[in-house]
């Protein structure tokens, strides 16, 4: 049996006055926990266990929502613990026992997305990310780090200290569930003070010289572990309502020598700005007073310029356009913004 365990038993203290972070809605409409399973071959697993706690279920209907989200995946099981645990390692230990997990298993954080492929035969290994090759990692002091030898074997894993260029991504693979349980019980018997991370269990197993862990490098990594990182995702994924004449194209009207029928002059700097926003995850909604008869021609102009609008709203009133949106801790104030710029001017000067 091969089991994927996603622990969601923490208090999400880094996301105050909000739902548990694994239940937060990503800009594309999926929950964070759904996003966390992307970019891995989950079909390799016989079981997928999501561990939640009763306080989250009582307040946020966590169990019902997880059942609704994963209703089409029969492999998904919900493990509900009575209360918050003292550490991620305790969460895993209780999950292994309660759900009677046997054989190999993988632990995967719920607050990130990692590109990695698991083999059918899962061995002891930890997924890392080479900071020399990938420089977009944030909150580096808050990570754990792998010390890896020339054979790609892990010599140790250290919490909250930058001791190497390999950061741990919160994906831990164990060949046998009994090995983890035994190591955890032995550490508990030693009355070790402080929070016991998964990395501490791995480090202890390595210290016994009975176990070997290999390092496997991820191909991609998206981190949502802190509120700042989550807000950055929301900011990059904004929806921009963009006028055509005077913003994307040099202004013209339906009549006159230069008009909607023959105007092809693009405001190139603005086009490039919108393309970069689009590439980073933003939605572009075109709003224009041009009537429906111009849709086909306008669509071709935008496509040829490299823009891929989410929608094109034709025939808008030639008047002020107002966005009305609600705000909450999960979509904080201001959730509706407006940029009014001089005709034919540069968006970049105003967009921040």
**Burial code of 312-325, b = ≥16 C-beta within 10 A, e = fewer?**
bebebeeeeeeeee
Looking at the fold, whether 188 and 267 belong to one and the same domain comes out as no
Average pLDDT, the chain: 94
pLDDT at residue 8 is higher than 90: yes
Q: What is the mean pLDDT of residues 133-158?
A: 92
Q: What is the mean pLDDT of residues 337-343?
A: 93
Looking at the fold, whether 197 and 267 belong to one and the same domain comes out as no
- How far is Cα 88 from Cα 184, in angstroms, rounded to an integer? 11
277 in any annotated domain: yes
Q: What range defines the domain where residue 41 resides? A: 2-225
Looking at the fold, whether 105 and 198 belong to one and the same domain comes out as yes
Looking at the fold, whether 112 and 242 belong to one and the same domain comes out as no
71 in any annotated domain: yes
CATH code assigned at 90:
3.90.550.10
- How far is Cα 300 from Cα 290, in angstroms, rounded to an integer? 14
The mean-pLDDT minimum among 196-205, 233-242, 328-337 falls in 328-337
pLDDT at residue 233 is higher than 90: yes
Looking at the fold, whether 15 and 162 belong to one and the same domain comes out as yes
- How far is Cα 224 from Cα 148, in angstroms, rounded to an integer? 26
Residue 139 dihedral angles phi and psi, to the nearest 5°: 50, 45
Total count of domains within the chain: 2
Looking at the fold, whether 19 and 159 belong to one and the same domain comes out as yes
What does the pLDDT read at residue 136? 85
Cβ-based neighbours of 193, under 8 Å, separated by 6 or more: none
Task: Provide the whole-model pTM.
Answer: 0.89
Angle, to 10 degrees, between the axis of helix 88-98 and the axis of helix 198-207?
80
Least Cα distance to 230 among 129, 329, 86, 154 occurs for 329
Looking at the fold, whether 220 and 259 belong to one and the same domain comes out as no
Output the CA torsion sign for 97, 143, 112, 335. Answer: positive
Looking at the fold, whether 51 and 168 belong to one and the same domain comes out as yes
What does the pLDDT read at residue 11? 84
CATH code assigned at 334:
3.40.50
Q: What percent of the chain has pLDDT over 90?
A: 88
Of 225, 246, 281, which residue is a domain's last?
225
What does the pLDDT read at residue 330? 84
What does the pLDDT read at residue 328? 87
Looking at the fold, whether 133 and 265 belong to one and the same domain comes out as no
SS3 152: coil
For residue 263, count other CB atoms closer than 10 A to its CB: 18
Q: What is the mean pLDDT of residues 77-101?
A: 96
Q: What is the mean pLDDT of residues 39-47?
A: 96
Task: Report the Cα–Cα distance between both ends of the chain, in Å, rounded.
Answer: 51
Encode pLDDT of 109-127 as tens digits: 999 999 999 999 999 999 9
Q: What is the mean pLDDT of residues 251-275?
A: 95
pLDDT at residue 195 is higher than 80: yes
Q: What percent of the chain has pLDDT over 70?
A: 100
Looking at the fold, whether 334 and 306 belong to one and the same domain comes out as yes
């Amino acid at each position: 049996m091969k089991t994927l365990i996603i622990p969601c038993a923490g208090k999400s203290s880094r996301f105050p006055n909000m739902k548990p972070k694994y239940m937060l809605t990503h800009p594309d409409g999926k929950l964070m926990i759904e996003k966390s399973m992307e970019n891995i071959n989950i079909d390799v697993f016989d079981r997928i266990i999501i561990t939640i706690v009763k306080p989250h279920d009582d307040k946020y209907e966590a169990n019902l929502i997880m059942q609704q989200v994963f209703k089409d995946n029969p492999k998904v099981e919900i493990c509900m613990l009575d209360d918050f645990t003292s550490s991620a390692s305790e969460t895993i230990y209780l999950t292994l026992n309660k759900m009677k997990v046997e054989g190999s298993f993988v632990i995967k954080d719920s607050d990130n997305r990692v590109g990695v492929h698991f083999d059918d035969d899962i061995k002891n290994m930890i997924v890392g990310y080479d900071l020399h090759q990938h420089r977009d990692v944030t909150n580096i002091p808050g990570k754990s780090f792998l010390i890896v030898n020339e054979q790609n074997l892990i010599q140790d894993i250290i919490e909250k200290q930058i001791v190497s260029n390999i950061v741990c991504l919160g994906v831990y693979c164990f060949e046998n569930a009994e090995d983890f349980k035994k190591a955890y019980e032995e550490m508990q018997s030693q009355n070790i003070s402080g929070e016991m991370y998964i990395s501490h269990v791995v480090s202890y197993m390595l210290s016994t010289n009975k176990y070997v862990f290999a390092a496997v490098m991820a191909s991609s990594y998206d981190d949502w572990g802190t509120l700042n990182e989550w807000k950055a995702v929301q900011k990059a994924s904004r929806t921009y309502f963009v006028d055509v004449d005077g913003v994307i194209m040099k202004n013209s009207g339906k009549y006159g020598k230069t008009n909607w029928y023959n105007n092809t002059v693009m405001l190139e700097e603005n086009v490039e700005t919108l393309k970069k926003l689009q590439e980073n995850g933003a939605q572009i909604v075109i709003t224009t007073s041009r009537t429906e008869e111009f849709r086909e021609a306008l669509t071709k102009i935008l496509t040829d310029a490299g823009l891929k609008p989410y929608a094109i709203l034709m025939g808008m009133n030639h008047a002020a356009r107002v966005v009305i949106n609600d705000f909450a801790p999960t979509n904080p104030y201001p959730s509706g913004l407006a940029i009014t710029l001089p005709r034919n001017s540069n968006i970049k000067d105003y967009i921040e």
